Structure formats: C-alpha cells, structure tokens
Amino acid sequence: NMVKLVLVFLALAGAALAIKWGSATASFQIEGAWLEDGKGMSIWDAFSHTPGKIVAGQPPGDVTDDFYHRYKEDVQLVKSLGHQTFRFSISWPRLMPSGRKDFINQKAVDFYRSLLNELIDNGIEPWVTLYHWDLPLALETEFGGWRHPNISLFFADYAEVCFEKFGDLVKHWITLNEPWCVAVLGHNTGEHAPGRGSHNLAQADDRVQQATEVYTVGHNLLLSHARAVQVYRTKFQAAQNGEIGITINPDFFYPLDPHDPRDKIAAERALTYAVGWWADPILFGDYPLEMRETAGSRMPTFTSEQRDLVRNSTDFLGINHYMSHLITHETDPTLAPGFYADRGGMLLEDPAWPKTDMGWSIVPSGIQDILEWIAARYGAVWPGMPIAITENGVAVNETADEAGLDDQARIAYLEGYLSHVLAAKANGVNIQAYFLWSVLDNYEWAFGMSKKFGLVRVEDGTLRRLPKASARWYTEWIKKQPQ
C-alpha cells in the first residue's frame, strides 16, 4: 500500500507539471536525400517508386522537404515559432544500410548528432523515434521484415547503436510509431509499405494467411519494442538518465445509439482493439480477451519469457490521435479478413461532423475521451501513467497562393482539440507533452505531397518555407500556457 501511495503522490506531482508544447516529424516524410551519403533504401523508398502505390501525379519520396540539407534553417524556424520540443525519427537504413550492425554509416551518425546539438543549443528538447515505418529494404527482401521471428533481435541491435551514438543527447525515446499502421495497413490492407493485403486475394487460404500475418507482425512489433527497452534499461538508462516509451494511434469510438447496449459493447470493443492490442500486453501481461476469443489460433501466445520481457516495458505512453467515429453493432460483410473483420461492427460518421482533407471526422471531444478512457483502463495498475500526445493535427485543402496561407480551418481544429487536451489534464490525466503534426507540410505516405498538415507551407519546386496563420496562432497559444 505504501508503494501505491507513493505512486499516487508522484502521479499528482506529475499532473501538476506544465505540458511541454512542440511539433512532430518523421524521417521519410521530411528528410529527402534518399540515396545520399551512404543511406540504404527503405521499404517506403521502394513502395513510393512502385507505380500505382502513390496517388496519381505525386512524386516518390526522394526529396520531400529536403530536411537533410536544410535542417539548420528548419531548427531556426522551429525556434522562431516558440516550440519547446521537437520530435523526429531516425532513419534505420540511413544509419545501418543493410539493417544490420555489420556496417554503421558514420555520415548518418554525424547528421543526427548535428541535428540533436542544433536543437539543444537552441533550447529545444528533442524527442526521438526509433522506428517511423522506414524499415531497411534489405531486411524486407532478405528476411521478410516484420514477419521474421527474429526481427526483434535486429531491432534491438539497431536500438543499441542509437542509444550508443546519440543517447548522451536524448532524454526521451519512442521505440515504435503506430505499430497498428505497420501491422494493419502494411500487412492486412496493403495501403502502406510493404503493401501486403488481403483485399484482392482470391484464394481463401491466402486470405487466412493475411488474417494471421497481421497478428504475427503485431506480436513481433511488441517484442521488438520490449527488447529495445530492455537494452536501454540494462545498458544505458542509468547513465543517460532518459525515458523510453511507445506511441499508439487510437481513434475514439462513440456508440451510434448510446441507449443500445449492443452499440455500447461495439464501441468498447473497438477501443479495446485500438488500444489494448498494444497496451494490454505491456500493462496487463496479455492481449485483450476479446481479441483472443475472436482470432483464436491466429493470435500468437506469449511464452513466459516474452511476457516478462513485454510487461511494464514503457516509461510513458505516446498517443497519436486525429479523429473519432460512430460505431454500430451490425457487421459490415465487406470487411477484409483479419483485424477489421475480427473487430466487427460498422463505422459511421455523423453528418454534422466536419471533415478534414483526409476525409477524417473532426470531433474535438474525442481527444479528451480517448485520454480519459486510457487513464481509466490502466489506472488500477498504473495510477497517473505519464502520457505524451505525440501527434495531433489536421490536413487542410489549401490553395498554393497567398490566400492559402490563411488556414483558419487548422486554427479552428486546434482550438477545439487543444481545449479538450487541457480539460483532460484538468480531470487528472497526466499529460506531459503535446506534439502538433506537423511543423512542415510533408510527404503524407501514399498521398505524397498532396495532403497539407503543416503549420508552415513548403512551396512546390522551391521548397521555400512560408509560415501559415496557424503557425502564429500556435506560437501565441504556447506563450499563454503555464510554463
């Protein structure tokens, strides 16, 4: 009970700390320099060069924002906007072109150390993601990437190199960004690299294979996360004095009919599938019962050694949140076998909800509801669990002229969502940091440069940085918050 009391006390102290405000990015989406200075290829390099994978008229991800060459001026930009933190990811194939530690690219070490020093010298706190989807292509072609039973050993090696080379400058590490996307979009629907999907598989046994693979990949991602954390905790954390966590990406789900218990169960189930698939093994020691019962033998089991490895393998939980949905208990028969069919239910959008340029529903209360749902679900095992909102933001359809810089729709989105972030904090959710996605317009995966998430425009062709109205709004917002 004494331990519980101490935890509660620490939780209250943490809840009283001011939120740090900043912005987030990812290597493949901003760096460019896709084959420069010894970088190996990633699965996203290959995917974006495959005809038909990226929306028509968009280039592959070779140049994007050219951050690799412009990082010093971009750090000055971030500083001028008053951001206190900056989240970026390390490109695994830039650092280790084969994905393995047989060759470490010194030019990549120099680049990331220079970027880290630049941030720190300018009073900006770096948060570093180890994996934001750009798997070394060599690991995909030679081993089957995330499907390989020993991928977690490769990832632990990569993590160790990162801690060794950069850990003296980094106090906040994120192992994986949105493992749900890697598993479901990469290996169940095929919308993301490596593009393995069950939608268009005619053979029944192929469809079963994809419906199994999504969970195998999920399992390997969790083990990879946990092994990286184990390496950090056993070899680096005491000396480097940082923290390490994982980032998941749950939407919020509201029952279509709040008075129908079946719809309420469907909403709760969807939340469990979004959050519990990742956080339950870490905080409870196993996958959610709902997932085990439905997926049956397709759901991997943890050995006792794996369970111990994964259990409690996080110092904080990162949450990326963009949108919410309505859900009904009726099932959509067209759902692809695997994650969606297992989750069941049918998603609907309230016609009153405005939509982003991605077609995502804008529901500001959703961010508060997901934060409070997570805090409640895990409150008994970890009261006051530290949470970082590692992404939140909006794609706006903007014209390329002067008028397009007056992005009032983004300001309205942020006003709504940020007020609910503060409300969740006031209700006791221990929110430590908030990262707006993103500071720059960037390469939005299969949409290329066509979707604009930035506070700052990256001008087509010249790549000139032009701050939008929202950039100034967010600067003023940060100034008004408790420091």
Which residues are known catalytic residues?
178, 391
Alpha helices in 144-192 (DSSP H): 151-166, 179-180, 186-187
Which tokens is 91 given? 């490109």
Taking each helix axis from N to C terminus, what angle separates 408-426 and 365-378, rounded to the nearest 10 degrees? 30
Phi-psi region of 345 (alpha: psi -120 to 50; beta: other; left: phi over 0): left
Cis preceding-peptide flag for 136 (omega within 30 of 0): no
Handedness of CA 402, 404, 408, 414 (dihedral sign): negative
399 within 8 A of 452, measured Cβ to Cβ: no
CA distance 364 to 353: 10
Which tokens is 117 given? 């020093």
Distances (CA, A) of 201 to 3, 190, 198, 205, 208: 53, 11, 5, 9, 10
φ and ψ at residue 389, rounded to 5 degrees: -85, 100
Handedness of CA 229, 232, 233, 237 (dihedral sign): negative
CA distance 106 to 33: 15
Cα angle: 56, vertex 58, 63; to 5 degrees: 160
Which tokens is 266 given? 């469907």
214 within 8 A of 187, measured Cβ to Cβ: yes
378 within 8 A of 261, measured Cβ to Cβ: no
- The two beta strands, 465-467 and 456-458, are antiparallel
267 within 8 A of 338, measured Cβ to Cβ: no
Burial bucket for residue 481 (CB in 10 Å: 0-12, 13-18, 19+)? middle
Grouping H, G, I as helix, E, B as strand and the rest as coil, residue 274 is helix
173 within 8 A of 128, measured Cβ to Cβ: yes
Nearest to 99 by CA among 148, 137, 70, 43: 137
Helix (H) or strand (E) holding 211: helix 204-231
- In Å, how far from its chain's centre is CA 303? 27
